Structure 1
Amino acid sequence: MILIPVIAALHGVAFGGGLQIALGSDIRFATPDTRLSVMEIRWGLIPDMSGMALMRTLVRDDVVRELTWTGRQVLGEEAARLGLVTGLSADPYETAMALAKDIATKSPTAIRASKRLLNCVPDSDQHEILLMETEEQVLLMGSANQKEALLAHTEKRDPMFSD
């Protein structure tokens, strides 16, 4: 598993494996006219590379079925409505980079901890999630990066994290 946020910028087409790679990212930005499709059905295949599992965490079950069984192309605007992409941008690369720069100003240990938790949520019940949150929070509280985040906020300066 990649321990840092993965942000995808989609432009042009994201068909088949390209769509599945994009779905594997944490956040996806696309142009309104980006074309996305689960194309495998056209070749007598099914999505692999965890494509179905990833789609089912983002899109309603009936929509996943329709897209998988038809291979229908959707434009970026519809993809955003469906939840396949996080947002639309005329320049998704620039939008992705701006978000990455913002995230990079936050505590890297807190980012990694939250990503671990978010990756476990779909497979965990409420009790398991609360236990995992507690375990992660105990590790973060009083850590060097957590202290630096508080100090930087108090001193109204940018934080200088240790990793």
Structure 2
Amino acid sequence: MSGVRFEQRGRITELRLDNPAKMNALTVEMLGALSAHLERIERDPAIAAVMLTAEGDRAFCTGADINGWGDLTPAEFARHWVRDGHRIFDRLARLSKPTLAVLNGHAFGGGLELAAACDLRVMAPKAALALPEAGVGIVPGWSGTQRLLRLLPEPMVKEMALFGHRIKADRALACGFVAAVDEDPRAAALALLERAVTLSPRAVEVAKTMIHAAQGEDRAAMVEALGSAAIAATDDRAEGVAAFRDKRTPDFSGK
């Protein structure tokens, strides 16, 4: 079992972390499944939005399963575990479709970093956020000291990473990290997503790209993607492709 379930609900895809016995801690298999699902979602025009949820009600995700990295050499830990996690979380953050994490329970360590990679978050009142890595002798490795700083005040990140404190739902809402705190966060998330899927998919995609570029989320690729999208709609692009195929000199019109 991969530990990540894929369920289609109309134009909304639900990705559900399914490792409740370990409070949905992320395993190597779960990371691989998440990566594959994200690739499938990106390429499927029938999917308009993504909801990331978790099985059970104790935790959304308590981070990386220590059995997955505890015995790795320093080189393996840095080169593979950390980089693979970054690659997959970056893929989620840069998905062209709107994403929403449902924090039905605690989001700790890698679980908080996973939630931060989504566009919006909805949180249960009993849930809490934390960066507990220092308690097991490591540091946040999947953007907890980077992307998270764009979403939470620096003192709040330090409070979690340096002092071991947990952030409750009311504080997460007050600082804008979550869009809503609700006794039924999944229902609240669905209401937000059902509105999102009525909007123009292309307009939403471009707006997300522009917002991310302004915030520094893979800015170079975002700028080139926007430029490439604009040039792809021109007559010159069509003429250039046709001339290449016909083995002739293109006659560009500037249109």
Please, what TM-score do these two structures have when normalized by structure 2?
Answer: 0.47
- Structure with greater helix share of residues: 1
**Matched AA of 1:28:** R
Distance 1:100 1:23 in 2: 17
Match of 2:173 in 1: 80
Q: Aligned pair 1:100/2:193, yes or no?
A: yes
- Asked if structure 2 preserves the Cα contact closer than 8 Å seen for 1:14 and 1:34, the reply is yes
Q: Deviations over 1:65-111 (max 9, x none)?
A: 22211221122112212333222111111111111110000000000
Within the alignment, does 1:63 sit opposite 2:160 as a pair? no
The answer to whether structure 1 residue 13 and structure 2 residue 106 are counterparts is yes
Give the TM-score normalised by structure 1: 0.72
Query: What is the number of residues matched between the two proteins?
Result: 134
Q: Please tell me whether residue 43 in structure 1 is matched to residue 155 in structure 2.
A: no
Structure 1 gap segments, 5+ residues each:
125-130, 140-163
Describe the superposition over 1:6-27 as per-residue Cα deviations: whole angstroms up to 9, x where unpaired: 1011112111111111111100
CA distances 1:18-76 after superposition (whole Å, capped 9, x unpaired): 11111111000001211211111211211111122222111222222222112211221
SS of the aligned residue for 2:162 comes to: helix
Q: Distance in 1 between matches of 2:97 and 2:164?
A: 31
SS at match of 1:28: strand
Describe the SS at the equivalent of 2:114. helix
2:30 counterpart residue number = none
Identity fraction in percent? 28
Larger RCO: 1 or 2 (CA < 8 Å, sep 6+): 1
Q: Secondary structure at the match of 2:101?
A: strand
Runs of 4+ more than 4 Å apart: none
Contact 1:41 1:70 in 2 (8 A): no
The residue type paired with residue 57 of structure 1 is R
- Structure-1 separation of matches of 2:179 and 2:111: 16
